[in-house]
Structure 1
Amino acid sequence: MFASIKRLIGSAGAARDEGQALGAWAKSQGFAFKRVKDKTGGGYVVETDKGWRVEWGSSQRPYITGHELRFRCDTGLPGDVQMILLSKVVAQTLESDVFSRYTNAMQTQIDNTLPDEMRWLAMHPRVSLNTSAVLAKRFALFCNAEAVMQSWLDAPTIQELESAAANWWTDGLLLVMTVNRGMLTLRMPGQNVEPGQLQMVGKLFAQMAARMRQVAFELT
């Protein structure tokens, strides 16, 4: 299963120590960097002074092979708000794999084996991105709380997403941003991580997280 995702992201390439790139980026930003160990072999953690963190380690999702890079932030949003933002190309690929599993007679535990965000593609309404022609063309946003997401998409947030779309967030990039149980998470493959890439993704995530926390505050 998920063969189409593997084709989309290509080969993981030769193994290397991604901690060198993470450590160099963390040092340049003044963030704390440490190595962690666990049953799966461990990884690396970057603690920022902005209320969010970066984790690198074994993939926690079947659609990401090998290792995974995660940006995470507790937003303070209500725990029942669920959101997924990704490129339309990746959304279509994930939806295709979901459909394949639903139509596979041998798969009887689909609701328990699929990650939450993959089920949301079918469960939750698509949120309009028509305030930005660039975003409407390139991305898909699904959420069970549309008013919250529309409030989140203020002018600076839209501008940051448009900049990412123009400079590095390509159609086929396997980058998935979710909100679940109040946690904003950005997931992407953890192979071939470079400081320049971390700089761009970190800048986007910092804007997304700050705005999400502001929206959560306004809801209280």
Structure 2
Amino acid sequence: MFERLKKVFVAGKADAGDAATSDEAVSEWAGTRGFSFTGMGQGKGFSLKGNVGGKPWKMERGRPSRDYIRGEELRARGEIKVNDDVTVLVMNRALKDALEKKAYQAYTDTLQTTADPSMPEEVRWLAMYAEVGWESLPKPFWERYAVMADHRSNAMAWLDPQLVELMMSWPEPAPDPQVPFILMVLRGKAYLRMQYTPADMPTLEHAALIFTTACESAIAGLSNDLTL
């Protein structure tokens, strides 16, 4: 299990965001965690690779691949090989509301005769999968996040108390609940996509911890021999 790091890297009087996520700082931190680090040039992003449960994962920092993300994006994929029939999508509620509003406006625009090619794939997922919920999770979680799934039992098997607690305990200065965030299991893999705000080491460390914990939880609860 990946424990939280207490060390925060600070570099002189440089801008806190730039200094805290310099290639040197990220590379040093990655080495303490057993991750491999590949830089793309200062200010151009980087990638991290590791293993969880014997399965490889990769996290990248770079330019956004979705128009709802401003600034830089953190995106990750874990080749966890769980039941590929399972689909569970966790999205911060502000993003869900914004995407639904965008889709509604597009579909009701009488001047629009073709599908909007800029519409993100996430909109289709919102249309395909119903939102689910259950009483054992705290109300603040449901205020911040929405959970969509093919079956509620799969969402419950994945979102264990430890993962939920991590998603609710971002280190200060924490990402605002409005900051786009998506965590999902789809086609046997785990994915994370989020706006890298604030762009500092505590946010990066915690995002990596959330993602690796999500991979572990999915392997434990959504493997082919366990999922109904």
Question: TM-score, with normalisation over the residues of structure 1?
Answer: 0.76
Counterpart of 1:45 in structure 2 is: 47
Asked if 1:33 is matched to 2:37, the reply is yes
Q: Which amino acid aligns with 1:216?
A: L
Counterpart of 1:57 in structure 2 is: 62
Distance 1:192 1:159 in 2: 20
Q: Which amino acid aligns with 2:73?
A: E
Equivalent position to 2:124, from 119, 127, 130: 119
* Deviation by residue 1:137-173 (Cα, 9 ceiling, x = unmatched): 2211111232211111223233333334998353212
Q: Counterpart of 1:168 in 2: which secondary structure?
A: coil
Distance 2:101 2:182 in 1: 16
Distance 1:153 1:22 in 2: 28
Equivalent position to 2:213, from 194, 197, 207: 207
Q: Counterpart of 1:126 in 2: which secondary structure?
A: strand
Distance 2:82 2:173 in 1: 30
Asked if 1:77 is matched to 2:82, the reply is yes
User: Percent of pairs identical after alignment?
Assistant: 23
Gaps of 5+ in 1: 1-14
Distance 1:173 1:52 in 2: 23
Distance 1:96 1:56 in 2: 28
Contact 1:89/1:172 (8 A) holds in 2:
yes
Matches within 5 A, 1:102-117: 102-104=107-109, 105-106=111-112, 108-110=114-116, 113-117=118-122
Counterpart of 1:136 in structure 2 is: 142
Runs of 4+ in 1 over 6 A off after TM superposition: none
Distance 1:213 1:107 in 2: 43
Distance 2:57 2:68 in 1: 24
Distance 1:106 1:35 in 2: 43
* Deviation by residue 1:36-72 (Cα, 9 ceiling, x = unmatched): 59xxxx7421112433221122322232245421122
Q: Counterpart of 2:143 in 1: which secondary structure?
A: helix
* Deviation by residue 1:95-133 (Cα, 9 ceiling, x = unmatched): 1112122223325124x6433222222321111042122
Contact 1:44/1:55 (8 A) holds in 2:
yes
Contact 2:174/2:198 (8 A) holds in 1:
no
Counterpart of 1:186 in structure 2 is: 192
Counterpart of 1:5 in structure 2 is: none
Distance 2:135 2:75 in 1: 28
Distance 1:129 1:23 in 2: 40
Distance 2:149 2:59 in 1: 24
Question: TM-score, with normalisation over the residues of structure 2?
Answer: 0.74
* Deviation by residue 1:59-87 (Cα, 9 ceiling, x = unmatched): 22232245421122123233343332122
